[in-house]
Structure 1
Amino acid sequence: MNWKKLLIESTIGIEKFVDDLTFKIRKKLKWNSPVIIMPYRSYGRKDYLYIIGRVLENKLIKPAESKESLITNLANMYKRFQSDEVPGVTIQIDYHGEKHQVISDDEGYFKLVFKPKHIPTETKLYHLVSLKIIEAPIPFTKDNFIAEVMVPPVDAEFGVISDIDDTVIKTSATKILAMAKTVFLNNAHSRLPFAGVAAFYQALMLGKKGKQNNPFFYVSSSPWNTYDLLKEFLDLNKIPEGPLLLRDFGLQDNKFFSSGHMEHKTKEIVNILETYPNLNFILIGDSGQQDIYIYTEIALKFPERILAIYIRDLELKKTEEKVLNQTAKAAELGIEIILSKDAQLASIHAAKKGFIFSEAIEAVNEDKKQDTGELPGKVEDEMI
Structure 2
Amino acid sequence: MNAPIRLAALVLALASAPVLAAPTVLLSPALGRPGSVTLEGRVLAETPHGSSALTRNLRSLTARNWKGAKVEVSFQGTVATVTSGEDGNFQVTLQPAGGGSFPPGRHSAQASVTGAKTTASVEILADPAPFLVISDFDDTLAISEVTQPDKLVANALLRDEETQKAVPGMPGFYGCLGANAEARPGFALVSGSPVQYLPRVGGFLDRHGFPEGFGLFLRDLGPRSLSDYKQPIIRSLLHRFPHPVVLVGDSGEKDPEVYAQIREEFPGRVRAIYIRDAGNTADAARFQDMVLFQEASTAALHAVQAGLAPRACVSAAFPQATPRAEQGTP
- Residue 277 of structure 2: which of 301, 313, 324 is its match? 313
RMSD between aligned alpha carbons?
Answer: 2.4
Q: 1:359 to 1:53 in 2, by over 3 A?
A: same
> 2-side partners of 1:227 and 1:233: how far apart?
10
Equivalent residue of 2:52, what SS? helix
The equivalent of 1:378 in structure 2 is: 322
Q: 1:357 to 1:58 in 2, by over 3 A?
A: same
Q: 1:377 to 1:39 in 2, by over 3 A?
A: closer
Residues 94-243 of structure 1: pairs in structure 2 closer than 5 A: 94-117=74-97, 119-124=100-105, 126-133=106-113, 140-141=115-116, 144-206=117-179, 208-209=180-181, 211=183, 213-240=184-211, 241-243=213-215
The equivalent of 1:358 in structure 2 is: 311
TM-score by length of 1: 0.75
Deviation, 1:104, is 0.9
Preserved contact between residue 32 and residue 57 of structure 1 (Cα < 8 Å): no
Bigger strand fraction: 2
Deviation, 1:363, is 2.9
The equivalent of 1:8 in structure 2 is: none
The equivalent of 2:44 in structure 1 is: 56
* 2:282 paired with 1:342: no
Structure exhibiting the larger radius of gyration computed from Cα positions = 1
Deviation, 1:317, is 4.9
> 1-side partners of 2:172 and 2:19: how far apart?
46
Equivalent residue of 1:243, what SS? strand
Preserved contact between residue 200 and residue 360 of structure 1 (Cα < 8 Å): no
Deviation, 1:310, is 0.6
Equivalent residue of 1:130, what SS? strand
The equivalent of 1:14 in structure 2 is: none
One-letter amino acid of the structure 2 residue matched with residue 93 of structure 1: V
* 2:24 paired with 1:36: yes
Share of identical aligned residues, percent? 24
Deviation, 1:287, is 0.8
TM-score by length of 2: 0.86
How many aligned residue pairs are there? 310
> 2-side partners of 1:286 and 1:302: how far apart?
21
Deviation, 1:35, is 1.8
Runs of 4+ off more than 6 Å: none
Q: 1:73 to 1:94 in 2, by over 3 A?
A: closer
Deviation, 1:149, is 2.5
Q: 1:344 to 1:268 in 2, by over 3 A?
A: same
Equivalent residue of 2:127, what SS? coil
Equivalent residue of 2:205, what SS? helix
Q: Which runs of 5+ in 1 are unaligned?
A: 1-29, 63-70, 135-139, 328-335, 367-375
